[in-house]
Structure 1
Amino acid sequence: MAGRLVRRTRVTRFAPDERTVQREDALAVEEPLEVRVGGSSFSVTMRSPGDDFDLVAGFLVSEGVIWSADQLSSMRFCAGTDEQGLQTFNVIDAELSPGTPPPDTGLERHVYTSSSCGICGTASIDAVHKATHFGQLDDETTWSAELLGSLPDRLRDHQKVFDRTGGVHAAGLFTAAGELLCLREDVGRHNAVDKVVGWALREGRLPLRGTCLQVSGRASFELVQKAHMAGIPVLAAVSAPSSLAVEHAASAGMTLLGFSRGGAFNVYAGADRITAG
């Protein structure tokens, strides 16, 4: 699978005071993935190949389709080949368990979702304000400010694909004791989060009480929403949050951190969960 995540290419290097040279460079692979539910096409997203079952499971959680492992009966790759006749592994069909309602076609989700934005394909802003199954998050776990400040470096230490390409986002799920439960990388930051959430769903861990989701980019509304849908009480980002992200985190009872770098961070919502000691 590692060979599918990274692709080699030739580049010409220009730099001041250096001789122009040609050399090999590593690129993060980006390919489409079609998500089908019960044989019907639901969405297409651009993603980094790998952990695709986690991605689909997490995506269905984010869309409010499922919230428990027993609602997902099976997932399988559908036949699909490239120009050389090789299996592409770019179509997954998810079967929901009997009694689990299929996705709401009234959402009118567009077929294509880019790797840069997880809610661009949703027809209206009303459709993304879904009611999470877990409601307002009243998790009473407390978090050490020192530990939270260390999470970006801990995340970075495990970003193997980023080390090779510099071209992927990461999401890591941590406990209040600092244990890394799951880390996923992807060209799309929302995909990385969905892969973490999908892993947790398949492990029977939802809702994710007592956890913090550390992400490598900014804290957008979509990431706050995905964390809320999975029952994650704390979301930390190395960059800025948006105003809508802060509003949603506060209304959901979440703790939201931004500009988490060098051991320091800003708290935009839910500061009562954090202890100075």
Structure 2
Amino acid sequence: MSLVAPATIQKVVGENLTEVSDLLAVEEPLEIRLGFGPVDDRQQKSVSVTMRTPGHDEELAMGFLFTEGIIHQPSDIVSCRHCVQDSEKEGNVLRVELKPDVVVDWARLERNTFTSSSCGLCGKTTIDAVRALTPGPMLSDFAVEPSIIHSLADRIREAQLAFAYTGGIHAATLFDAEGKLLLVREDIGRHNALDKLIGAAFWQNWLPLTQFGIFLSGRVGVELVQKSWMAGVPLLAAVGAPSSLAVQMAQDAQMTLAGFVRNERFNLYSEPGRVRITQLA
């Protein structure tokens, strides 16, 4: 499936109107189904439907299931593949088969499940329920120079292939202490882009990500901090603003949170010691 779709639009410049070709970010539903249970009594259940940009669907599913506390290591998974039996949903249903001994906490999953690419923590009854999933406070010695954070937005924009064509897609990027970009994932949903990134790292056995930072192309809600905390990320930076709950959770996690990263400026909301500032105004 393509990340972009062609469209004909009417473009207005001043008082003039012209018809031109354009490209739009593709948005389609992805249903994640779990296969679970003992060998002699396998069952199947749909656990989430999210609106996403097709591509890296397996990583999205693994990142989602990991950050929701359903799976803990790659060996929990027997297979992860698109279903082909339903022609009406071709390419939009992904089945994850779990090992027979993996026990699924359905009550917790039902509280925490996402229902769209933009809903965030829809259905979560309390913020305490989210915190219960996460590990303890960050103890990582990861640190970066301010110049690395300043450079991320422009460098990541160059790596965003779908954004270059559409201007309407989010990115999540993994980087190291030297500023090297290790993974970039795109999606129309901010949460999905991060799930894809964490899912890719999960599958490569990189978790916990205690010696890496994550950069996001949009604003930071509490659910993005929660996902990053689950993955062990000590520094989360973003182009946009954080919410009050995002800052509160970052402080609880002892995670460094940077927002408004643009135009050679950024704000630090928690744990500023991981950014090596040598001059104080």
Q: Same fold (TM over 0.5)?
A: yes
How much does 1:92 deviate?
0.8
Q: Which moved more, 1:104-113 or 1:49-58?
A: 104-113
For the Cα contact (< 8 Å) 1:57–1:194, is it kept in 2? yes
> Which residue in 1 is equivalent to 2:120?
118
Instruction: Work out which of the residue numbers 1, 8, 11 in structure 2 matches 1:10.
Output: 8
Shift of 1:140: 0.7
Query: Deviating runs (4+, > 3 A) in structure 1?
Result: 109-112, 121-127
C-alpha deviation, 1:129, in angstroms? 3.0
Q: 18, 23, 31: which is aligned to 1:21?
A: 18
Map 1:227-266 to 2 at 5 A.
Answer: 227-266=228-267
Report what 1:155 is aligned to: 156
Alignment of 1:69-218 (within 5 A): 69-79=74-84, 80-82=86-88, 88-109=90-111, 113-132=115-134, 134-218=135-219
Shift of 1:238: 0.7
Unaligned runs of 5+ in 2: 36-43
Q: Select between 259-268 and 187-196 the one with higher mean Cα deviation.
A: 259-268
Change beyond 3 A, Cα 1:91–1:109 = farther
Change over 3 Å in CA distance of 1:10–1:184 after alignment to 2: same
Alignment-mate amino acid for residue 66 of structure 1: I
2:120, 2:221 within 8 Å by CA — same for their partners in 1? Answer: no
Q: Does the 8 A contact of 2:114 with 2:121 survive in 1?
A: no
How many residue pairs match? The answer is: 269
Q: Contact between 1:74 and 1:96, CA under 8 Å: does it hold in 2?
A: yes
CA gap 1:89/1:239 in 2 versus in 1, 3 angstroms: same
Quote the offset at 1:64 in angstroms.
Answer: 1.2
**Structure 1: segments with no counterpart, 5+ residues:** none
TM-score normalised per structure 2: 0.90
Residue 39 of structure 2: aligned partner: none
The alpha-carbon deviation at position 161 of structure 1 amounts to: 0.3
Look up the match of 1:225: 226
Give 1:150 shift: 1.2
Q: 2: distance between equivalents of 1:164 and 1:91?
A: 26
CA distance in 1, matches of 2:248, 2:185: 27
* Partner-residue secondary structure (3-state), 2:182: strand
**Aligned residue identity for 1:50:** G
Aligned partner of 1:65 among 59, 70, 73: 70
Relative distance call for 1:106 and 1:264 in structure 2 (3 A) is: closer
* 1:36–1:92 contact (8 Å) kept in structure 2: yes
Match of 1:43 in 2: 48
CA distance in 1, matches of 2:132, 2:77: 20
| Alpha-carbon shift at residue 124 of structure 1 (Å) | 4.8
